[in-house]
């Protein structure tokens, strides 16, 4: 374009060049110099443009290389988490084992990050039913590691140590965590994370249920009424401080439904005003759906929280257990 404009200037000055040799010579020299300058300028712009394009291509290749590396690392991490999830699932009670003890039940289990800091446990021994729901500090990998420790401990305490009182189960777990994480040389616990837990032990013959809770409660729905037994406001946590847990008793009837849960469902943000779901709504929905089959209750709970969360991220692991003991 610049060369075309320069050529046009030569044409426009044609008449003047014919009329005055001196002027025409000067103008010709000027025009030739201008053309050379413009050609050099155009060549310089072209070189700079090619250099810039080369730099952009190099930067793009670097970005693509980094993106590929991140994708590979993300795949490795996801594969590791998926394998860890399979290990965690193997430690949790098998569904056929739970159905043998409680044919009518549901487990709503929704980890935030593939693996979960929430765990549950069911067992039967000496004409007694054992149900536990627990929420370890944190979620993801740290919470999952604590949950695996918790699962091993509760199995040891109930099946090997034969502890049959709910308050003593929590107290013994507290001592076991203390023993596991306390290092004598430093005189301090290496890990300060704890476990919130609700545990029920039901006598199959008398239908008397014992309950103890570390923060977590148990809900009992009977005849369109929801009865809450609250837990103590303390965690199961490794500590040398003298701790104790309360033990409540409750006589169950045919058709009663027990609900144990972690705090993830009630604490989930959502709704039109981006607020927590709250325990008030949880109690209302559990009471409302308690008349339906337990499999339908699980589906409704999932649909309800999905609708509530629309446009919001899940903030914590979620778990709700629903059981008809008799």
Q: What are φ and ψ of residue 316, in 5° steps? A: -155, 165
Domain with 51, as residue range(s), is: 1-91
Structure pTM?
0.78
Amino acid 240: pLDDT: 55
Which contiguous run of DSSP H or E holds residue 235? none
Amino acid 312: pLDDT: 92
Q: What are φ and ψ of residue 124, in 5° steps? A: -135, 130
**DSSP output for 159-210:** IIS----HHHHHHHHHHHHHHHHEETTTTEES---EEEEEEEEEETTT-EEE
Amino acid 158: pLDDT: 95
Cβ-contact 325, 258 below 8 angstroms: yes
Cβ-contact 91, 148 below 8 angstroms: yes
Q: Are residues 102 and 184 in the same domain?
A: yes
Which of 31, 59, 91 lies at the terminal end of a domain, its last residue? 91
Which of 35, 66, 91 lies at the terminal end of a domain, its last residue? 91
Rg of the chain over Cα atoms, rounded to whole angstroms, equals: 36
Q: Are residues 237 and 123 in the same domain?
A: yes
Amino acid 188: pLDDT: 58
Q: Are residues 1 and 109 in the same domain?
A: no
Angstrom CA distances, 57 to 48, 60, 66, 324, stand at: 14, 5, 14, 65
Residues forming a β-bridge with 232:
214
Q: Are residues 82 and 135 in the same domain?
A: no
Q: Are residues 275 and 183 in the same domain?
A: yes
Q: How far apart are the first and last CA of the chain?
A: 91
As given in the structure block, the two tokens for residue 208 are 């008397």
319 Cβ partners below 8 Å, 6+ apart?
107, 108, 109, 110, 116, 118, 119, 120, 133, 135, 261, 262, 264, 265
Give the strand pairing for 318-323 and 257-261.
Answer: antiparallel
How many domains does the chain contain in total? 2
Q: Are residues 173 and 184 in the same domain?
A: yes
As given in the structure block, the two tokens for residue 316 are 């914590």
Taking the C-alpha atoms of residue 103 and residue 323, their distance in angstroms, rounded to an integer, is 9
Amino acid 119: pLDDT: 96
Amino acid 38: pLDDT: 81
Cβ-contact 249, 212 below 8 angstroms: no
The DSSP symbol for 232 reads B
Which of 58, 91, 124 lies at the terminal end of a domain, its last residue? 91
Shortest CA distance to 261 belongs to which of 305, 308, 296, 310? Answer: 305
Q: Are residues 76 and 59 in the same domain?
A: yes
Amino acid 238: pLDDT: 59
Amino acid 111: pLDDT: 94
Taking the C-alpha atoms of residue 88 and residue 83, their distance in angstroms, rounded to an integer, is 9
Please identify every stretch of the chain with a pLDDT value under 70, giving residue numbers as ranges.
1-23, 182-192, 238-242
Amino acid 83: pLDDT: 86
Q: Are residues 217 and 127 in the same domain?
A: yes
**DSSP output for 72-126:** HHHHHHHHHHHHHHHHHHHHSPPHHHHHHH-SSEEEEEE-SBSB-SEEEEEEEET
């Amino acid at each position: 374009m610049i060369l075309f404009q320069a050529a046009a200037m030569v044409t426009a000055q044609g008449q003047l060049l014919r009329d005055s040799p001196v002027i025409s010579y000067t103008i010709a020299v000027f025009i030739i110099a201008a053309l050379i300058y413009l050609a050099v300028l155009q060549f310089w712009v072209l070189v700079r443009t090619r250099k810039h394009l080369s730099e952009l291509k190099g930067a793009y290749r670097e970005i693509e290389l980094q993106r590929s590396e991140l994708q590979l690392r993300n795949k490795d991490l996801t594969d590791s988490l998926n394998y860890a999830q399979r290990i965690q699932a193997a430690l949790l009670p098998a569904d056929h084992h739970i159905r043998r003890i409680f044919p009518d039940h549901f487990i709503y289990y929704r980890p935030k990050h593939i693996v979960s800091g929430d765990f549950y446990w069911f067992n039967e021994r000496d004409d007694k039913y054992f149900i536990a729901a627990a929420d370890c500090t944190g979620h993801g990998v740290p919470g999952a590691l604590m949950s695996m420790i918790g699962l091993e401990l509760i199995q040891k305490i109930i099946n090997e140590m034969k502890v049959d009182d709910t308050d003593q189960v929590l107290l013994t777990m507290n001592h076991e965590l203390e023993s596991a994480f306390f290092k004598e040389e430093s005189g301090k616990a290496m890990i300060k994370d704890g476990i919130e837990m609700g545990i029920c032990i039901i006598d199959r013959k008398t239908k008397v249920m014992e309950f103890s809770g570390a923060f977590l409660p148990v809900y009992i729905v009977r005849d369109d009424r929801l009865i809450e037994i609250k837990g103590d406001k303390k965690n199961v946590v490794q500590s040398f401080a003298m701790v104790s847990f309360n033990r409540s008793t409750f006589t169950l009837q045919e058709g009663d439904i027990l609900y144990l849960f972690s705090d993830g469902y009630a604490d989930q943000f959502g709704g039109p005003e981006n607020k927590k779901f709250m325990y008030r709504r949880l109690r209302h929905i559990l009471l409302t759906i308690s008349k339906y089959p337990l499999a339908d209750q699980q589906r409704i709970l999932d649909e309800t929280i999905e609708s509530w969360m629309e446009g919001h991220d899940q903030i914590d692991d979620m778990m709700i257990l629903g059981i008809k003991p008799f």
